[in-house]
Amino acid sequence: MSSDSAPLHSSAVIDEAVQTLRNGGLVAIPTETVYGLAADARNPEAIKKIFAAKGRPSNHPLIVHLAAPDKFDQTQIDWVALLAPWARDVSEDALKLINQFWPGPLTLVFKKDKSVLNELTGGQDTVAIRAPAHPIAKELLRKFKGAVAAPSANRFGKVSPTSAADVREEFEGMLDLMVLDGGDCKVGIESTIVDFSSGEGAVLLRPGAITPGEILSKTGVKVYLPGENKTSNEEKVLPKVSGSLKAHYAPTTPLRLYASGRVLDALSEFPDTKSRVAVAVWDSESSLSHDGHPSARFEEVEVSSDSTVFASRLYRCLRDLDQQGWDLILFPEPPAGEEWDGVRDRLQRACFGSGPSSNNHESN
């Protein structure tokens, strides 16, 4: 089901979700990127429930989600006032990005206000904030009249959920979890994260649907890659933002990438693979030849050569393949170009974390 025909919830259901948040409970919410596991961002006990449900290390910061007030006569939203309880030093450049891209799949990192809970920031002095664009998330946040902390609604390190069914499956048995169904997520990968906390301009911490090129063309603000703008040799030991670990977004089935036209090479690297291999192939390319690797029984899965469509279906595809009992999943390496950076980032981390054992996450 597409988000266009998403089942927009009755106000009674939204009110129940607001009450759940006020009571310190968790609510799985749809956003345009992925589903989030939301708790009151001002309630330390509620935030701890997120970490417990996900099995997530407590030094991992969470993203604060807030909504613009619903005032139809307001042409320019006063984001500075909305950010004041959370962030310090909101620069002119940061405001340019906010006015252009919020609400939307863009998270910004600022120095945190002293009132922001340490539980939320992983004990760090920065806070990550975004305003989601999904109508249900917006309505919930407006009625809640506060902010929620909301990492992706999945077990730590695993494939992010892009439908309400994914969330229910992920947290099966967690009877008190309220899940708001907003249809399938349109963007399909997590938000772009840009850091403004250093005072040294804008730095890309996680690629996503909104690229540095788009930011530059629409706002005139240059977003640097880490280490590009300054000779900063400070070692960042703690993850500053969500999804920055080497192993993340990972299926239980081993996942590998293959270079263009090199499927058979990739298959021959896995001689011990029992036989069942799922091979994702570009919809723009002709079918693979089965010659040359008779031992592998493989099935082709077509993936879109359009970066936006590919992103929106990536996690759905990984989840489906993961449940089909393959011995190995092969994906083509995404082409060059920053519009592919977001999915390239997710696929590389998914490969690194993939496989049946979860202790490969220790190697981060």
pLDDT given at position 240: 62
CA-only gyration radius of the chain, Å: 21
| HSE-CB of 83 using CA atoms within 13 angstroms | 25
Amino acid at the residue 355: G
Using a cut of 0.85, tell me whether the model's pTM lies above it. Answer: yes
- DSSP output for 35-101: -EEEEETT-HHHHHHHHHHHT--TTS--EEE------TT-SS--HHHHHTTTEE---HHHHHHHHHH
- pLDDT means per 10 residues, the chain with 364 residues, are 50 96 98 98 97 93 89 72 94 96 97 96 95 95 95 94 96 90 97 93 96 98 85 49 70 92 78 76 74 66 96 97 93 96 95 71 36
Answer yes or no: are the C-beta atoms of 158 and 255 closer than 8 Å.
no
**CA angle, 189 as apex, 316 and 146 as ends, to 5°?**
115
Q: Which helix (H) or strand (E) holds 318?
A: helix 307-322
pLDDT given at position 363: 35
Amino acid at the residue 51: F
Q: Per this entry, what is the length of the chain? A: 364
Q: Rounded to whole angstroms, what are the CA distances from 254 to 215, 257, 273?
A: 35, 10, 10
pLDDT given at position 247: 72
Place of tokens 């090199």: 262
Closest residue by Cα to residue 63 from 22, 138, 121: 121
3-class DSSP assignment, residue 338: helix
pLDDT given at position 362: 38
Strand partners, 110: 127
pLDDT given at position 1: 31
Q: Domains of the chain by range and CATH?
A: 3-224 (3.90.870.10), 255-363 (3.40.50)
Tens-digit pLDDT profile for residues 229-279: 754 444 444 556 666 567 778 899 999 999 988 887 877 777 665 578 999
pLDDT given at position 268: 77
pLDDT given at position 288: 63
